[in-house]
Structure 1
Amino acid sequence: MRPLRALCGTAALALALPVLSPGQAAAAVPAFSVYLQNYATGLNAAAAGGTVAAHNPKGNEDHQQWVPVAVDGGHQLRNADQSNVCLGRNGTSAVTAGCGSAGTTWTITAGADGTWTVGVPGASQYLTGSGSDAAAVQLGSGGDLARWYLTPVAHATAPMPSADTRRLDQVTFLTTHNAYANGADGNFASFPVSLFPNQNLGINRQLNDGVRAFMLDDYAVSGRAVLCHNSCDGVSNPVPLATDLQRMVDFLKARPGQFVTVFLEDYAPSDVLKSSLASVSGLNDVLYRPDQEGVAVKGWPTMADLAARGKQLLIFSDRTRSADIGAGWATRDTFGVLYQREWTVENYWSMGGGIGSSDWSCYSRWGTGRPLTVDSAAFHPLFVMNHFRDYPIGSTIETDNGKLLNRAQNFCTPAARKKPNYLAVDRYEVGSPSPLSTVGTLNTYVLAPGQ
């Protein structure tokens, strides 16, 4: 990871350049560094050895930053970290060329929902992605693949709204990856996976320390949902899902106004999951049901509204509606578990192995069919940002957690065009600054509206 110049504090961010918000298109082409980000796929145009290709967003590590510069007849897009390198064209291919070369002038035109077209002057040809090759950047006709965001490299911010007006989608929550795999509450895996807990502390301690979202893997064993890592084979006495949910419900009932989210990596049949949830005393009192309140049409409520109504717990499953229907199971939202892909976006979970170099690119866990940039004027999907590796190694986790703020602000926020709502980490209590401190920083601001 190449370090970025200091943009980690909110004071520095307040001086940063503005973000284009959904539903707004600036009249003037930006004159600052941007990512040329495809509307349909969420991938960025990157200068790649003489060509231009669509790559996973990767901050300043992959020649993905461009500066629009006004020239006679239109604009050039100059690569921000390569001298005299511009976005150009050769036939129907997108290439890089010297900025004085023919074919490096473009007509950049504002379109709907904060998008732009990058066209050939005097022709009906546009820079476009490809429906058959996700890595291709080429020239073609119009359509969604020819729509691009000019996403600022540095986003402007505004102060976090007051406690009585801030919405759920404006807040960031500390999230524990494999929260149950902690070595404190009970068995979670067979040997040797059991030697590598993702967390050091139990669920009650996590709640008391400020963790407000929990990633749990549930499997069906003897008719009930239990928590195991990879599988429950060879795991003696795994913790029942209902046990950890009861801990959360009891915590919430004792602390009105607090809010918790559960993310299930969900391997249990829906009837087993339903039965396990039904055994949790008081669950329905605090369970929040955005699907019954029109949130997908009118947007998220304020935190104050949720607190006033005692709606304090949101549960997501990573299964799909179609998979449950195909299996002949009841859909999970009939008993209050929402299908995560309908309500959130989430980056790919792995930053690499447990040791060695890390991959900071930020791209959708669910592929280009649901990019991180999915958004609308009415409804903003919640953004789950994963920041952990394949294997939990203590020294690596401590280093990675100390870099969480940098990655959240300078890599993943521009990749998603939204601030993370959930920061998921291993061993949340280690790192400097700590993950909890990073969450505190993110909760001092929201992204500013469009220019």
Structure 2
Amino acid sequence: MCTVAALALGVPVLLAPSPAAAAVPTYSVHLQNSVTGLNAADSGGTVAAHNPKGNEDHQQWTPVAVSGGHQLRNTDESGICLGRSGTSAVTTACGADGTTWTITAGTGSTYTIGVPGTSQYLTGVSSDSSAVRIGSSGDLARWYLTPVTYATTAMPSADTRTLDQVTFLTSHNAFANGVDGDFASFPVSLFPNQSWGVSRQLTDGVRGFMLDAYTVSGQAVLCHNSCDGVSGPVPLATDLQRMVDFLKANPGQFVTVFLEDYTASDVLKSSLASVSGLSDVLYRPDQEGVATSGWPRMADLAARGKQLLIFSDRTRASDVSSGYATRDTFGVMYQREWTVENYWSMGGGIGDSDWSCYSRWGTGRPLTTDSAAFHPLFVMNHFRDYTISGTAETDNGKLQNRAQTFCTPAARKKPNYLAVDRYDLGSPSPVTTVDTLNTYVLTPGQ
């Protein structure tokens, strides 16, 4: 993986001036489909839509003005351009016919990439196809020219920054720590995701907690994979109480809980109701018009003592079809309505990792999902199928590079939650990486 030296030092850089709204960029970009979020890549001479993969997989292109329009030159393949052969999108020598395009700015920061003098465009085929071809206009013929490296500006002041501008350190399987209680049966119990209990995690600066909730004897408890053979799982209410107590003792702090949720809604509601003081700190974006007006300022949340946001990975449709009360009636938000999240695994516990950054929920809700009024929070997963301390240490040391070089362009937004195993390992540490991301925001209009 090629690492830009400045990024390795934690300094976001600007490779070229940010263009005016209607201008064609002159710096390297990803051709990112506005519907699927997938990138146009050179796949052995054919152009295909691939999962975003940063500076790998021949996915970077540089627009260059030429007579009659622009060429799109592959950034890491000298002399190779995006071209066409009939209705096929191909790569070919830049001196060949069919490599000039008309690039036109459209709505919502998108562009069309057209065949000069025609009504034909570079287009995807469908939301579930990797094919890219020459065809008619439409949503699949709209592309983001996403900067390979974003321009940034300083993080707004503490009294003006909003929730969607902040990055939080997040503990994957925070309960699977071997300190607070049993979390899995053998052999899964041999691979704790974290080294410290939830109280220590809070003290260390963890502000996002991924918890797996199951039902045992009518109570929501925390287990990894299954509660079979787990003699003393921690009740969900116990960890939530730890968080509420911490928040009440630390005004101004903000915590988010992500539930991998295998509970019925009445069981979950009962568990939350048993947590003393939870309703005082629980933040309800559904009751405050966030979906139409955007996320609030952190200072406003602090002033009102609204410090805890809870998401469930269940869907509204699944609860309705099961006859359950919807979870947002008691303050648990359906995560897919409020966030985007990349696929959760980089691979097995040892060996090479896959840094592709694409939606865990498919092309129906790509990482690029956005609107002018509401920006979904971006949950960035950075961990393996199971936790080996040496691998986690290596992976965590590369977290900043992946966040800035791979996942920020893939989502067209900075991660709001960096979820890792063994947050205590890595150089730079995940804490340092979060601190770095919290020094800047992406410059609008790119």
In the alignment, what sits opposite 1:202? 197
Could you tell me which amino acid in structure 2 is paired with residue 190 of structure 1? Answer: S
Displaced runs of 4+ in structure 1, greater than 6 A?
Answer: none
Q: Which amino acid aligns with 2:140?
A: L
Alignment pair present for 1:292 and 2:287: yes
Q: Residue 393 of structure 1: which of 388, 406, 425 is its match?
A: 388
What is the match of residue 15 of structure 2?
16
1:193 pairs, out of 185, 188, 192, with 188
| The one of 371, 374, 377 aligned to 2:372 | 377
Gaps of 5+ in 2: none
Contact kept, 8 Å, 1:15 with 1:156, in 2: the verdict is yes
Give the alignment partner of residue 94 of structure 2, picking from 87, 94, 99: 99
Conserved? CA contact 1:257–1:304, under 8 Å? yes
Question: Does residue 84 of the first structure (1) align with residue 83 of the second (2)?
Answer: no
1:3 is matched with: 3
Give structure 1 stretches of 5+ with no counterpart.
none
Q: Distance in 2 between matches of 1:389 and 1:132?
A: 27
1:117-132 equivalences under 5 Å are 117-131=112-126
**Post-superposition CA distance 1:209-258 (Å, at most 9, x none):** 00001000000110010000001000001000000000000000001000
1:51-450 correspondence to structure 2 within 5 Å: 51-131=46-126, 133-450=128-445
Q: Is the 8 A contact 2:69 2:103 kept in 1?
A: yes
**How big is the shift at 1:132?**
6.3
- CA distance in 2: counterparts of 1:278 and 1:307, whole angstroms: 23
Contact 2:128-2:363 at 8 Å conserved across structures: no
- C-alpha separation between the residues in 1 aligned to 2:7 and 2:169? 21
What SS class does the counterpart of residue 215 from structure 2 fall into? Answer: strand
TM-score by length of 2: 0.98
Give the TM-score normalised by the residue count of structure 1. 0.97
Shift of 1:323: 0.4
Q: Would the aligned equivalents of 1:10 and 1:444 in 2 still touch at CA under 8 Å?
A: no
284-293 or 129-138: bigger deviation: 129-138
Matched-pair contact (CA < 8 Å) for 1:8–1:409: no
Deviations 1:130-184 (A, max 9, x none): 1165211111111110000000001011000000000000000000000000000
Q: 1:158 to 1:323 in 2, by over 3 A?
A: same
Residue 28 of structure 1 deviates from its aligned partner by 1.6
CA contact (8 A) 2:6 2:13 kept: no
Q: Is the 8 A contact 1:17 1:152 kept in 2?
A: no
Distance 1:74 1:58 in 2: 28
Indicate how the Cα distance of structure 1 residues 18 and 232 shifts in structure 2: closer, same or farther if over 3 A, else same. farther
Tell me if structure 2 keeps the 8 A contact 1:18–1:448: no
Query: Can you list the C-alpha shifts for 1:364-399, whole angstroms capped at 9, x where unaligned?
Result: 010001000011111100000000000100100000
Superposed CA deviations along residues 1-36 of structure 1, whole A, max 9, x for unmatched, are 34344324454x24334668xxxx722211110000
Work out the CA distance in 2 between the residues paired with 1:385 and 1:76. 33
Query: C-alpha distance in 1, partners of 2:287/2:159?
Result: 23
Q: Which digits, 9 at most, give the CA deviation of each residue in 1:51-99, with x for residues without a partner?
A: 0000000011100000001111100000000011100011111001110
Q: What's the CA shift string for 1:193-213, capped at 9, x where partnerless?
A: 001000010000000000001
State the AA in 1 paired with 2:229.
Answer: G
Counterpart residue type for residue 105 of structure 2:
A
SS in 2 for 1:7: helix
The one-letter amino acid paired with 1:285 is D
Does the aligned pair in 2 maintain the 1:219–1:232 contact within 8 Å? yes
- Backbone CA RMSD of aligned residues: 1.1
